Amino acid sequence: MAARFITSARRLLRRPSDWEARQLADALRTETIGGMLLLSGAVLALAWANSPWHTAYTTMRDTRVGPAAPLHLDLTLGHWAADGLLALFFLVAGIELKREFVAGDLSDRTKAIVPIAAAVAGVALPALLYAVSILALGADTDALRGWAIPTATDIAFALAVLAVIGSHLPTALRAFLLTLAVVDDLIAITIIAVFFSADVAVIPLVAAGLPIAVWWGLLRRGWTHPLLLAVPAVATWVLIHQSGVHATVAGILLGLTVPVRRSAAHALPEGGHSLAERIEHGLRPWSAGFAVPIFAFFAAGVRVVDGGLTAALTDPVTVGIVVGLIVGKALGVLGGTWLVARFTRAELDDGLAWADVAGLALLSGLGFTVSLLIGELAFGASTARDDHVKVAVLVGSLGAAILAAIVLRRRNAHYRRLEEQEADGIPER
């Protein structure tokens, strides 16, 4: 029995527990719908930006709304979508991160090492390949500022693709993708906070600790009315924005303070959902169904007619991003997982093959939401190079999706045949 336990602990991409499976199913439903809405927002933006009415789109995106002095919140609608709405996205990500580290797979080192290694390698290799591409093509050193653009994975987009092509794929693959995305989001927000925050003002940054403490205190006492929580949440966002740190960091900080009850059933004693689960359940539809699609609508509207596409495709930045998303993410995630198996003597869970991991690694190259955000931070919103970034992210994500679909559709057909054989009473070979 001891030997069996050791073998089980060293399984890669293990099957989730019943509780984890329920959490996964809920997340899949919301994120899949959100991914469809995200794609719809991006397509609408592209169509409008390249129509005869493209000036109306640009005018709307660049319209300033909000108070000027002393808060300096007279931001464009596009800026509000990137800084304001995405803070909600990262709030949900922060709650997910806290829950994973406290009660999920990341709380167990034997389980956490796989997605962490895969995520780290899936960030490092795309960044490296981007830099190599930029230097090899002789681009200006300013182009190196975009090194972080191809490092992110858009979980909503990826799950939407997976839902279409992977009806019979093992649940373990979907669970791994979600856990990988959580770690990926942590790395992404760290990159944004460290490398894309300028002229940091210490006083408002320190002052942000007060509304965060109020938020935490309200949650500890079970006072969870949305209007009540909105006050410290908005105050935190404003202070973080004033500090010079990207405002979306406020979402992560607030999410990490949400209490997570840990028990055998991952539930409160009365059998209800934990506080983190309830808040996440309430916020996720707004994040996936509203905040991210609206951001996609304002961020993806790049003009590709009248020479725009040619200019973008000849920019080394575009080449670096496409190589990073398609090649770097795939080799990084697959290589990171293989290294864990190689040096820990771990094995894939029964019923899985390395072809499944390869398909999932290709799918991780769908970098959309965070990639577009980092592109704006790196090169400035609405600049010529920012437009090239948008084209590159769209091309790279589309390429990764097509390649992943080819691999995963074949694997899906394989698992469908196995299910049919089992239903007919034919022994599995």
Beta bridge partners of 11: 347
Whether residue 427 has pLDDT greater than 60: no
Separation of first and last alpha carbons in the chain: 26
Q: Would 209 be classed as within a structural domain?
A: no
Give the model's pLDDT for residue 128. 97
Reported confidence tier of residue 425, pLDDT bands at 50, 70, 90? low
Strands (E), 38-186: 64-65, 75-76
Whether residue 242 has pLDDT greater than 70: yes
* CATH assignment of the domain containing 101: 1.20.1530.10
As a whole number, the mean pLDDT across the chain is 83
Q: Would 284 be classed as within a structural domain?
A: yes
Give the model's pLDDT for residue 320. 96
**Locus of tokens 């080819």:** 406
- Is residue 415 within 8 Å of 171, Cβ to Cβ? no
Structure-token pair, residue 384: 């010529």
Q: Would 12 be classed as within a structural domain?
A: no
Q: Would 206 be classed as within a structural domain?
A: no
Cα separations (Å) of 348 from 8, 108, 273, 340? 10, 17, 32, 11
CA 256 to chain centre: 16
Cα separations (Å) of 13 from 111, 118, 420? 8, 12, 24
Domain that residue 135 falls in = 17-62+74-197+246-416
Structure-token pair, residue 119: 């995520």
Q: DSSP of 79-147, one letter per residue?
A: HIIIIIIHHHHHHHHHHHHHHHHHHSGGGSHHHHHHHHHHHHHHHHHHHHHHHHHHHHTT--GGGGGGT
Q: What's the whole-number mean pLDDT along residues 85-97?
A: 88
Give the model's pLDDT for residue 172. 77
Whether residue 148 has pLDDT greater than 70: yes
Of 154 and 396, which is predicted with more confidence?
396
Least confident of 21-35, 107-121, 146-160, 257-271: 257-271
| Residue 337: closest CA among 154, 116, 34 | 116
Least confident of 87-96, 338-347, 370-379: 338-347
Q: DSSP of 270-281, one letter per residue?
A: TS-B-HHHHHHH
Whether residue 94 has pLDDT greater than 50: yes
Q: Is the dihedral of CA 312, 318, 319, 323 positive or negative?
A: negative
Beta bridge partners of 75: 65
Cα separations (Å) of 181 from 79, 138, 188, 398? 24, 33, 10, 18
Q: Would 223 be classed as within a structural domain?
A: no
Whether residue 151 has pLDDT greater than 70: yes
Could you read off the pLDDT of 387-413 as tens digits, one per residue? Answer: 999 999 999 999 999 999 999 999 988
Q: Would 149 be classed as within a structural domain?
A: yes
Structure-token pair, residue 364: 């991780």
What is the phi/psi pair of residue 186, to 5°?
-60, -45
Q: Would 31 be classed as within a structural domain?
A: yes
What's the rounded Cα separation, in Å, for the pair 380 and 116?
A: 31
Q: Would 422 be classed as within a structural domain?
A: no
Least confident of 255-269, 288-302, 366-380: 255-269
Number of domains into which the chain is organized: 1
Of 234 and 343, which is predicted with more confidence?
234
